[in-house]
Amino acid sequence: MASSTRRSARPDVAGPYRRAWWRLRADRVARASAAVFLAMAVAAYLVPLVVAIDPYQQSLRNSLLPPGSEGHPLGTDHFGRDVLLRLIDGGRVSLGVGLIAVVISAIAGGLIGLFAGHFGGWLDRILMRIIDVKLAFPGILLSLVIITVLGAGLEKVMVAVGIGGIPRFARVVRASVLNTRGELYVEAARAVGASDRRIMFAHLLPQTLGPAITIATFGLATAILSIASLSFLGLGAQPPTAEWGLMLAEARKYLRTAWWLAVFPGVAIMLLVLSVNLLGDAIRDALDPRISSTAD
Amino acid sequence: MAKFVAGRLVESIPVLLLASLLVFSILHLIPGDPVDVMLGAAAFGIGDPAQHAKLVADIREQLGLNDPLPLQYVRWLWGVIRLDLGESFLRHAPVAELIAQRLPSTLELALTALGLSVALGIGMGIVAALRRNTWVDGAVMVLSLGGVSMPSFWSAMLMILLFSVTLNLLPATGSGSFDRLVLPALVLGYEGTGLIARLTRASLLEVLGREYITTARAKGLYRRIVVTRHALRNALIPVVTVVGLQLGRLLAGSIIVETVFARQGVGQLAIEAILQKDYPLVQGIILLTAASYVVANLLVDISYGLINPKIRAA
């Protein structure tokens, strides 16, 4: 209601982002997925501040308790550690590491796209050729190359996944720079003697924000999934870290006796990835209803 | 057509070259001397330092590590072209041989997964399109959404829980027999199945709305014949792309699936090699996967030209 009165009162000041925000708020799927995402984020970051129980607390007497046991709503693992607390702790790992990975890809990819798009010519051709090599490295493979060089570990996986996300950002930012750089106001800025730096960062960069937000949202979903996969393979988080992919890897040994260990961390990954993906869909539609989804 | 194929072939060469350059640099980007890595911990503390230094120098000379990097790269690339991928550090066998031993198992898995995802995906897509807005349609959409949001290792574990642990129908791990292939192939093909189903549904719905379909129906043709002969042919053109993209992803995807199901394939070998720091083996497998991805994309382009003459001209 508030938005509709504001719309009628000041129709001419609503910029594209405000209009996108209205569309987003009217989208039921977006509201539901945002609620799930926020609930998980709040649980991951705030619960540890309130509940003073250690997710690393071992208690071999209480190992492999099924869900619904007293004090352990989702049961315990082979060391008697509480599954729910470990899931909450793992949420902080997935979100934190995933977000930093996305920031790495956004800054590096954004700069590459900005320079390639603005200067064009041989710089553009070389940068885009390098980006094209990613075409030869499906999904997880580029991360594997980087981890081979850096070694295993959560921080290295973060860097690897971040680098893996660069090409998408570079392409999208470059495309929107190419769209904008012929605009009259950019030419005007050049005519009054603005430097390349000023044109790039003050005039071109703001225009890339919309597509970049969309890519960042999808990138977060991909990053969370990749981090979990690499940790599952033993290349990411190392024991005793409470990381969802690692928890699932450890659960394989107890598949026949403790199904809950194999189920709940996967549910957590799926909920987080699904909510971020649906939110990405909604943001894309809200920012520009014409852009369609891409396969990669 | 020949010109079109040749053009696409030439275009894929720089991508392959840059990919090979990246793979080549793995060994030279890792911190430390490759020879130290090669000798591993075994070489430390044995004999006197002078002897060790001589050993390292000998190996450097023998492997040509003293030559300029571009020369080393060209020599390595020339080897790769002749399928000489070097020697494994730890297994003391040619990398090409090690990969060749594991390749049949992975190819079997990947091709079965591809077959399953094409058959199931197109089938589910057709059913969903023809029963649009019914519970069948909804079920297909939920299933395909799961394919993109569930990590493959988790759907693998759920499959094992259901079919091996609870129902005791299929074996959970290992390779060799057909019943051991079913679950891994289903898991590996799951994401593709979902994508193909959604695309088939959307594409078929779009085609079914065209006028020539109405004409065919108005002539009195059976709906079944109109769907299979008139509509599907056009509806499946975009599906070809997704199938081709899946082909390229399957080798990379098999890395995870083979680990969960303990299958003796190339993917499992890759993870072992990375954890053991067996760099030539890692290089070989990554190069193979990248090359197969490029080839898959090439095949997609060419099949596109075959299906749609308009693209050939462009």
Kindly tell me if the per-residue pLDDT of A136 is higher than 80: no
What span, in angstroms and rounded, lies between the C-alpha atoms of A291 and A9?
30
- B125-150 average pLDDT score: 87
CB-CB neighbors (< 8 A) of A251 in chain B: 157
| Interface touch B158/A148, C-beta < 8 Å | no
What span, in angstroms and rounded, lies between the C-alpha atoms of B281 and B86?
8
Whether A67 contacts A75, CB under 8 Å: yes
One DSSP character per residue, A50-63 reads H----TT---GGGT
Q: Which neighbouring-strand residues pair with A69? A: A72
CB-CB neighbors (< 8 A) of B160 in chain A: 255
Kindly tell me if the per-residue pLDDT of A8 is higher than 70: no
Q: Which neighbouring-strand residues pair with B87? A: B94
Q: Range with the lowest mean pLDDT among A28-37, A272-281, B29-38?
A: B29-38
At residue A2 the predicted structure's pLDDT band, cuts being 50, 70 and 90, is very low
At residue A164 the predicted structure's pLDDT band, cuts being 50, 70 and 90, is confident
| Interface touch A149/B26, C-beta < 8 Å | yes
Kindly report the pTM of this predicted structure. 0.83
Check if B45 contacts A (Cβ < 8 Å).
Answer: no
Question: B288 or A4: whose pLDDT is higher?
Answer: B288
Question: What does the pLDDT look like over B206-223, one tens digit per residue?
Answer: 888 888 888 888 888 888
Amino acid code (one letter) for A107:
I
| Interface touch B157/A234, C-beta < 8 Å | no
| Interface touch B252/A141, C-beta < 8 Å | yes
Long-range contacts from B146-149, C-beta under 8 angstroms, 24+ separation: B146/A270, B146/B190, B146/B194, B147/B190, B147/B191, B147/B192, B147/B193, B147/B194, B147/B195, B148/A277, B148/B191, B148/B194, B148/B195, B149/A270, B149/A273, B149/A274, B149/A277
3-state DSSP assignment of residue B209? coil
| Interface touch A248/B275, C-beta < 8 Å | no
Size of interface A-B (CB pairs under 8 A): 130
| Interface touch B18/A133, C-beta < 8 Å | yes
| Interface touch B274/A263, C-beta < 8 Å | no
What span, in angstroms and rounded, lies between the C-alpha atoms of A19 and A286?
8
Instruction: Please give the domain boundaries of chain A with CATH numbers for all domains.
Output: 33-43+79-295 (1.10.3720.10)
Give me the pLDDT at residue B40, please.
60
Kindly tell me if the per-residue pLDDT of B113 is higher than 70: yes
At residue A294 the predicted structure's pLDDT band, cuts being 50, 70 and 90, is very low
Chain B (225-264) residues lying within 8 Å, Cβ to Cβ, of chain A: 241-242, 245, 248-249, 251-253, 255-256, 259-260
Whether B184 contacts B257, CB under 8 Å: yes
Check if B118 contacts A (Cβ < 8 Å).
Answer: no
At residue A292 the predicted structure's pLDDT band, cuts being 50, 70 and 90, is very low
CB-CB neighbors (< 8 A) of A232 in chain B: 151, 153, 256, 259
Query: Smallest Cβ distance to B157: which of A130, A137, A252?
Result: A252
Q: Range with the lowest mean pLDDT among A153-167, A196-210, B11-25?
A: B11-25
Share of chain A above pLDDT 90, in %: 17
Kindly tell me if the per-residue pLDDT of A13 is higher than 70: no
Query: Smallest Cβ distance to B157: which of A137, A266, A270?
Result: A266
- Give the best residue of A87, A135, A292 to mutate against chain B (max B CB count within 10 A): A135
Q: How far is B35 from chain A (nearest CA, A)?
A: 15
